[in-house]
A and B are shown apart, each in its own frame.
Chain A
């Protein structure tokens, strides 16, 4: 069933796959980002309550969604790496981790910036912001564990294990934080009620989510290519590749 994965266990094939995928992701990313930002930031109607300050959701919401998405794809790569002992999947874990951490940081910063006009404070212990913060800690844990090892082979496996442990804990953390929040604040201020969102705002938001996903894909692919080249730098095919260029 998983046989189709096996050819990509070879570093060279994985590198070629990255090269094939990269242009598609780049095109989608550039196109949707231009459309989404112009549509969302200039043409979508202003909110009747929040005026123009709501427009930060076109960055905040996609980055928040992608921060979780990147973590789950990192964990999937980690499971592949450990179960089938495919080393390129370990490299994928390491390629995704810093990207995910940055996206999470963007979600946190935009969330705080949005909170200032809405709540009058930069930081409120809102359930979603708190889970984003913990998610950032988990990302940083994976990254610092990876960089603490000198043997990069062991580092990749250790980081993969931690990513899997993290993804098992993530829903528990998420729901416990949400539950904790309702317990302590009573009426939580919900930022975004997805059902009530007007189509004129919903569609640009969707486009922006696609744009962010493609962006994460592009950066991850570029990083993965670099990781593969670095790990395989003594192999003949890398030398050949480098002398060609």
Chain B
């Protein structure tokens, strides 16, 4: 048995394990999407189905629904690993915990964020978005949902040791989501007026870059507190 230290191997191991688990319990993938769809279809029922009004509200509706549906999967992100002791095992490996965390967050995004991005055309259809705004929605979800996963994982890491961490986690995380919400919806709004929205996308991209670098550190120190 030769010991090889390869960050890539560790990333693959953690990422594959989480994906495997998610695909074994398919409800974990399907439920957030269903939740998203149901929330979106509640709005036309609540505010009336006029196409103009819906198109005006669509960015807000899509993004609030996206925030809420990412929250669903977040609570489980570290909970199973915490309960069965895998988290402790991952901490006594010679690898930095932030890399493990990065792989887990990436897997979480593939399971909850990516499906939302892929289903954007369907939401656009339901909410009467035009093609310009559809493209903007696609881009903002593509940049924004990984950001949601990274920020949310900080809250998940902080609350994983608590019995009823779920609601507390949303209280901690949702205020931190506000900038994402503001820039993403404004990008879609701007695109609906056929204006240039690359500025908002650039800001989202910058925030994502900062989150990719700094969030894993925060998440791993949060997990260390929870495990201690």
Contact = CB atoms under 8 A, between A and B. Distances in A.
Determine if chain A interacts with chain B. Answer: yes
Contacts of A177: 178, 182
Contacts of B165: 148
A169 interface: yes
Contacts of B207: 172
Contact of A180 (B161, B174, B175, B186): B186
Contacts of B162: 148-149
Contacts of A82: 221
Q: How large is the interface on A (under 10, 10 to 19, 20 to 34, 35 or more residues)?
A: 20 to 34
A176 B158 contact: no
Contact of B186 (A165, A168, A183): A183
Interface in B143-162: 154, 158-159, 161-162
Given A145-B168, A183-B186, A161 B178 contact: no
A173 to B, nearest CB: 6
Given A154-B228, A183-B186, A165 B154 contact: yes
A162 interface: yes
A158 interface: yes
Contact of A161 (B171, B175, B222): B222
Contact of B168 (A138, A148, A153, A179): A148
Interface string A53-94: 000000000000000000000000000001000000000000
A144 B171 contact: yes
Given A164-B218, A172-B207, A157 B225 contact: yes
B179 interface: yes
Q: How large is the interface on B (under 10, 10 to 19, 20 to 34, 35 or more residues)?
A: 20 to 34
A141 interface: yes
Contacts of B161: 149, 154
A82 B214 CA distance: 15
A154 B183 CA distance: 35
Nearest to B222: A161
Contacts of A105: none
Nearest to A164: B218
B175 A154 contact: no
A210 interface: no
B182 A176 contact: yes
Dominant secondary structure at the B interface = helix
Given A158-B225, A161-B158, A165-B218, A140 B182 contact: no
A145 B176 contact: no
A22 interface: no
Interface in B163-206: 165, 168, 171-172, 174-176, 178-179, 182-183, 186
B178 A158 contact: no
B228 A173 contact: no
A173 B225 contact: no
* Most interface-central of A164, A165, A176 (chain B CB within 10 A): A165
Contact of B225 (A148, A154, A164, A180): A154
Contact of B158 (A137, A145, A179): A145
B41 interface: no
B226 interface: yes
A179 B182 contact: yes
Contacts of A113: none
Given A148-B162, A165-B176, A140 B171 contact: yes
Interface of B: 154, 158-159, 161-162, 165, 168, 171-172, 174-176, 178-179, 182-183, 186, 207, 214, 218, 221-222, 225-226, 228
18 contacts: A134-B178, A137-B171, A138-B175, A141-B175, A145-B158, A148-B159, A154-B161, A158-B158, A161-B218, A165-B154, A166-B176, A169-B176, A172-B179, A176-B178, A176-B182, A176-B183, A177-B178, A180-B186
- 6 A-B pairs closest in CB distance: A176-B179, A137-B175, A141-B172, A157-B225, A176-B182, A180-B182
